[in-house]
Amino acid sequence: MNRLIALCALLFVTGCASVMVDRGGGTRRAASPERAAEQLDRAQAASALGEAETALASLEVPAEQVPEALRARWHPLRADLLERTGDDFGAASELAWAAPTLAAADRAGNAQRIAALLGRLPDHELASRTSALPPGHPLYDAAARAMMRRGLTPPRAIEGGVVAGADTSAWPPADPDGYRPPERVAVLLPLSGDLAAAGEAVRDGYLTALYGEHRRVPAVRFYDSEVGGAGEAYAQAVAEGAQLVVGPLAQEEVAALFARAPQVPLLALNRVDTPPPPGSVSFSLAPEDEGVAVAERLLQRGLRRVLVIVGGDDHARRSAGAFRQRLAQQGGEIVDEIALTTPGPDYTPMLVASPAMGGFDAVFLAMRAPQARLLVPQLTASGLGGRPMLATSLILSGGGNPQQDRELDGVEYPELPWALLPQPGLPDAASLGDRLPSARGNALRLFAFGVDAWKLTAYLDMLAGSSESGINGATGELGLDAFGNVTRTPAWAMFSGGRTRPALDGALIPEPVQPVGVEEIGGDGGAFD
């Protein structure tokens, strides 16, 4: 009771006696805007003198009752004071309330500070205080994601989805199956310079899928990200009315746009180290994803003790690193990891010296076809054969000769469903490659990537609304994780007679995408109105 009297006295002294306090000590009604402004000024003065507790006592007003004109100053000040007094969760909450008042350029930094504050909390405090947040609280999604990063289960589903903060109210209504592309889409790709071939393959895949759709499609405009940079292209696209921007392709350009906290939703075609900002997602065919997919396939089969053999390039090392991490997370064991630092031809000495000679369940190969063709027969000759062998799709690089690739018979790897089975709305992959250079050879994967960039354009809103949602695409079964990254479950293929075919168990080959369509595309679909 004495504390309550003291608080009331303090509020009276600071000119804010109109703030009311209930019996439990909680404030219920804010002062008038004029009184609240005086209160804020006095709190700032107390803060400058190092009197954090006094300053906080002057700002005891429910966040939703803070006058709109004062929010940009009120919430950041309370966040600073709460952090200084050791209440990191409370500070994060104030920053979440402040987010709508910030300029676009400041939102990414605000989100990073929220994540850092939540990261300091022990598991039990993070879980209990997240559970106490009421529905609709602006901190809930960030706190729930922080729990998920630690393997904790949030008390309820993420409320805003991964595109929270993106205004999709102007998009046309969704069809019953979730199909909901916006009206105007911009695609940023390198269409000139060193990456032009990659950009053209993605572009051609995007357009092939778009023109295979018989429902309403958006007006699409392509921007060359090599002319003036992706930042300039993004700004131009937004100025010209784009409601969704797809791209860019280069990792450094994605990072730069994410740092700017895009004001229009961005479907980035690469992945960076930090999660996408609110309103944006990222999609990639990263080597790390395939390393994770191989680890999960082995674990599903109960194959937990693995011999890992890695080639010498960056792609191989990245996939092996992700494989190693996921296997360890799920209780698996790497009995030995052999790095092939030379192109061969004799790997026998290092194989027979491996601790794996004592027993293991499977082999993971992260290397290109020429090196794998030398290695696989030597595994058998060294006594390390006779186990399941899984690789990433890197094993296709430098391959394609059935006579030579017989050495790889029995090796499984993640593959594009479209390369194995026909997909509605798409021509046969092999016949298309005969006619279109951008869908041939190594470009086929980028072409399929473009196909799925269109599918994500059309179904992004549905995927963002539920973690249970998924669509079947040319590169795999697609979904969204809690951090705004597109997840991809691949199909599985194996070498047989020097050629690839669906894996024997047929696992993870998605059913074809459901046929859609009731009317032909109107207009040319190639530019904004």
The encoded tokens of residue 222 equal 């392509």
**Domain residues of the chain, as ranges?**
184-282, 287-384
Please report the pLDDT score of residue 419 as a whole number.
92
Q: At a CB cut-off of 8 Å and minimum separation 6, what does 49 contact?
A: none
In the sheet where 333-339 sits, what is the strand order?
A: 333-339, 305-310, 362-366, 389-391, 412-415, 491-496, 499-502
Please report the pLDDT score of residue 385 as a whole number.
93
- CB distance 222 to 248 below 8 Å: no
Angle CA 341–347–350, to nearest 5: 85
Q: What is the DSSP letter of 194?
A: T
Please report the pLDDT score of residue 18 as a whole number.
37
Please report the pLDDT score of residue 70 as a whole number.
82
- CB distance 367 to 375 below 8 Å: yes
Q: Can you name the residues that pair with 224 across neighbouring β-strands? A: 189
Residue located via tokens 């089975």: 421
Q: How far from the centroid of its chain's Cα atoms is residue 229's Cα?
A: 23
- CB distance 248 to 270 below 8 Å: yes
Asked, colleague to colleague, whether 184-282 and 287-384 share their fold, the answer is: yes
CA distance 166 to 100: 12
Long-range contacts of 340-349 (CB under 8 A, 24+ apart): 340/309, 340/310, 340/311, 340/312, 340/367, 340/371, 340/375, 341/312, 342/312, 343/370, 343/371, 344/371, 344/374, 344/375, 345/374, 346/378, 347/374, 347/375, 347/378, 348/378, 348/381, 348/382
Q: Which CATH superfamily is domain 184-282 in?
A: Response regulator (3.40.50.2300)
Please report the pLDDT score of residue 34 as a whole number.
79
Q: How far from the centroid of its chain's Cα atoms is residue 375's Cα?
A: 35
Measuring CA to CA, how many Å separate 281 from each of 161, 186, 246, 412?
Answer: 11, 15, 10, 30
Single-letter amino acid code for the residue at 178: G
CA distance 127 to 87: 15
Please report the pLDDT score of residue 9 as a whole number.
39
Q: How far from the centroid of its chain's Cα atoms is residue 409's Cα?
A: 34
Task: Name the CATH architecture for the domain at 287-384.
Answer: 3-Layer(aba) Sandwich (3.40)
Mean pLDDT by 10 residues, the chain (529 residues): 41 38 39 77 84 83 81 87 92 90 68 87 94 91 79 73 63 88 97 96 97 95 96 97 97 93 92 84 93 94 97 94 91 96 89 93 97 96 95 94 96 95 84 91 94 96 75 92 84 95 62 31 39
> Any idea how long the chain is?
529
Beta strands in 225-274 (DSSP E): 244-246, 266-268
| 3-state SS class at 120 | coil
